[in-house]
Structure 1
Amino acid sequence: MIDPLSEVVRLLHPRAVFANIISGKGSWAVHYSDYGHPSFCIVLEGSALLTVDGHVPITISAGDFVLLPTTPAFTISSFTPAPPVHLDPRQVAGSTAELRYGDPDGQPDMRSLGGSFLFYCANPGLLVSLLPIVVHVQGSKRLSQLVQLVGEESRDQKPGCEFMLSRLVELLLVEAMRSASAGSAPPGLLRGLGDERLARALEQMHEHIERSWSVVQLAEIAALSRSAFFERFTRLVGMAPMEYLLAWRMAVAKELLRNSALAVSEVAERVGYGSSSAFSVAFSRHVGQPPSLFAQRRSGGGD
């Protein structure tokens, strides 16, 4: 059976792009301006205060993993007030030097590894639609082990470390998404997967995307009445069952058109359309351009 979460990660094609290591001692604060792209922070040592604009400050400690799907402006600081140093994340991205704030001497009170994700896919907004603005994962043994490995790789800089770091952060992303499915995520796929009955229907929709599903059939899989299934699905996933199925079909179709040599008719069949014309109408309405034009642009890298 196909795992919907794995399917989402496969479509995202995530790659980690590391920015820098930040450490601080004494009284210090760093304010990053709005970035607009997914980023993460892994706390390697000690603890600090993270304040994302519009949200209550949270304490982050060694072993914690923080994911910001859109990375609004935020401040990371000591627990004692200090005038912040203002940084543009675009300017520091790619730097390999450790940035030290506060007291420059001695063991830091906090040391973290921060970076961003790139997604080689036709649906970069997919992650944003699945996760809350701030994902803070703590107390996870699996995540702690991954964080420890990331820390070792970033510190030792052995041959192959870039490959290793990229793969490790992919795993961190999956673990973070798993943690959000328990109820902290907004309406979306993760909330649906956190519901045992809806998860059954979602798994079948993803595994057999080509089937002509009806709400009645999906309700039977979930062992719910049609009305109860429709209400529950809409409330937790954030859209009606057929609307979700359409959105997923279009996400898969965009990926196939962008990264395969399949003809439009073959893509139409793969995602459950009996004719190319019906698929073209649905795709054009959903994406804003016909599938043939979308496929032509794949070599140019546009969306």
Structure 2
Amino acid sequence: MADPLSEVITLLQPGTVFSKGISGAGRWAVRYEQFGHPSFCAVLEGACRLMVDGHEPLTLEAGDFVLMPATPGFTMSGFEPVKPKKMDPSVSASMTEELRHGTQSGPPDVRLLGGYFVFGSPDAALIVSLLPQLVHVRGEPRLTVVVQLVGDETREHRSGRNLVLARLAEVLLVEALRSATGATASPGLLRGLADTRLSAAIRQMHENPARSWTVEQLGKEAALSRSAFFERFSRAVGVPPMEYLQVWRMALAKDLLRRNDLSLAEVAERVGYSSASTFSTAFSRHVGQPPARYARSH
């Protein structure tokens, strides 16, 4: 049976990881503008505030983990009001020592391990659109262990470091995303997979992308009427079912085109289009360039 979460992460190709220790004491606040790369943070001890653009403020406590697959703008702070200091994530990541905010001496009020990694897929934005913008996990020690391993591997320049970090990035993503699967997750693939009815339809879309699906057929897979399925899917996943299917088909098509070992007609057939011309029209409309040109440029 298809495993949509694993397939999405495999296509994203998580790789290079940057991480560092961060601490804060007294009055402090830092502001990061929209970054684009996926970022993560584990709270090792203490507590702080996190305000992500477009979301309710969060109080982070020891044992909490946060993942932002596309990292919108956000502010992190202590609990006393102060004007945020603007930060450059690329400069912060290049620093080797722990990054300290607020009062520089004495014990910190909070200690974190934070960082970001890079998706190898040139089409990461398309696939990331299927994931929630913000993942907040509480009480999952496995995640903290993985983050600590990432921090240790980042600091030490051992043989095989890049390969280990790439694998740890995959594990970090899987652990974070499946820990956040539930009815309380923000709209996206995770929330859809948490719904037993919707999950059956999503797995079918991933297992049989070439099939000429209709909303009615997908509704039958979910044991729901057409209208009930459409409404429930759109609410949980954040997009209508056929739009989700098209995004997934285009992600698969791009991956197949980059491999350059299939004809256009074969790619079209594998992702559910009756002819190369029909596929070419749909691909051009969705991606902004014909599939043949996309394949040459990648």
TM interval, short-chain normalised: 0.7 to 0.9
Tell me the residue number matched to 1:24.
24
Identity of aligned residues (%): 59
The answer on whether the counterparts of 1:44 and 1:111 sit within 8 Å (CA) in structure 2 is yes
TM alignment of 1:90-109, pairs within 5 A: 90-109=90-109
The answer on whether the counterparts of 1:66 and 1:135 sit within 8 Å (CA) in structure 2 is yes
The answer on whether the counterparts of 1:38 and 1:70 sit within 8 Å (CA) in structure 2 is yes
Tell me the residue number matched to 2:74.
74
Q: Which whole-Å deviations, capped at 9, do the CAs of 1:197-235 have from their partners, x for residues lacking one?
A: 111111111111122223333222222233322332233
Amino acid at match of 2:193: L
Tell me the residue number matched to 1:196.
196
- Mapped partners of 2:25, 2:163: distance in 1: 31
CA RMSD of aligned residues (A): 2.6
Amino acid at match of 2:207: E
- What is the CA-CA distance between 1:87 and the residue it aligns to? 1.7
The answer on whether the counterparts of 2:46 and 2:109 sit within 8 Å (CA) in structure 1 is yes
Tell me the residue number matched to 1:297.
297
TM alignment of 1:110-259, pairs within 5 A: 110-126=110-126, 128-154=128-154, 158-259=158-259
**CA distance 1:192–1:33, change in 2 (3 Å):** closer
**CA distance 1:130–1:276, change in 2 (3 Å):** closer
**CA distance 1:200–1:256, change in 2 (3 Å):** same
Task: Name whichever of 115-124 and 192-201 sits farther off.
Answer: 115-124
5+ long unaligned stretches in structure 1: 299-303
- What is the CA-CA distance between 1:195 and the residue it aligns to? 1.0
Task: Name whichever of 144-153 and 69-78 sits farther off.
Answer: 144-153
Tell me the residue number matched to 2:268.
268
**CA distance 1:192–1:111, change in 2 (3 Å):** same
**CA distance 1:146–1:258, change in 2 (3 Å):** same
TM-score by length of 1: 0.85
- What is the CA-CA distance between 1:293 and the residue it aligns to? 0.8
- Mapped partners of 2:83, 2:243: distance in 1: 48
- Mapped partners of 1:134, 1:146: distance in 2: 19
**CA distance 1:144–1:99, change in 2 (3 Å):** closer
Q: Which whole-Å deviations, capped at 9, do the CAs of 1:169-220 have from their partners, x for residues lacking one?
A: 3222222222443134443322221210111111111111122223333222
**CA distance 1:81–1:246, change in 2 (3 Å):** closer
The answer on whether the counterparts of 2:46 and 2:61 sit within 8 Å (CA) in structure 1 is yes
Q: Which whole-Å deviations, capped at 9, do the CAs of 1:62-95 have from their partners, x for residues lacking one?
A: 3321122332332322223445433222332333
Aligned-partner SS, 1:24 = strand
- Mapped partners of 2:19, 2:148: distance in 1: 18
The answer on whether the counterparts of 2:132 and 2:190 sit within 8 Å (CA) in structure 1 is no
Task: Name whichever of 268-277 and 124-133 sits farther off.
Answer: 124-133
**CA distance 1:274–1:145, change in 2 (3 Å):** same
The answer on whether the counterparts of 1:51 and 1:75 sit within 8 Å (CA) in structure 2 is yes
Q: Which whole-Å deviations, capped at 9, do the CAs of 1:33-89 have from their partners, x for residues lacking one?
A: 332432222223332222334544322223321122332332322223445433222
**CA distance 1:157–1:127, change in 2 (3 Å):** same
- Mapped partners of 2:2, 2:93: distance in 1: 36
The answer on whether the counterparts of 1:257 and 1:291 sit within 8 Å (CA) in structure 2 is yes
The answer on whether the counterparts of 1:42 and 1:65 sit within 8 Å (CA) in structure 2 is yes
**CA distance 1:9–1:260, change in 2 (3 Å):** farther
Tell me the residue number matched to 1:278.
278
5+ long unaligned stretches in structure 2: none
The answer on whether the counterparts of 1:130 and 1:185 sit within 8 Å (CA) in structure 2 is no
Amino acid at match of 2:256: L
**CA distance 1:218–1:73, change in 2 (3 Å):** closer
Tell me the residue number matched to 2:85.
85
TM alignment of 1:52-67, pairs within 5 A: 52-67=52-67
- What is the CA-CA distance between 1:264 and the residue it aligns to? 1.4
- Mapped partners of 2:212, 2:259: distance in 1: 25
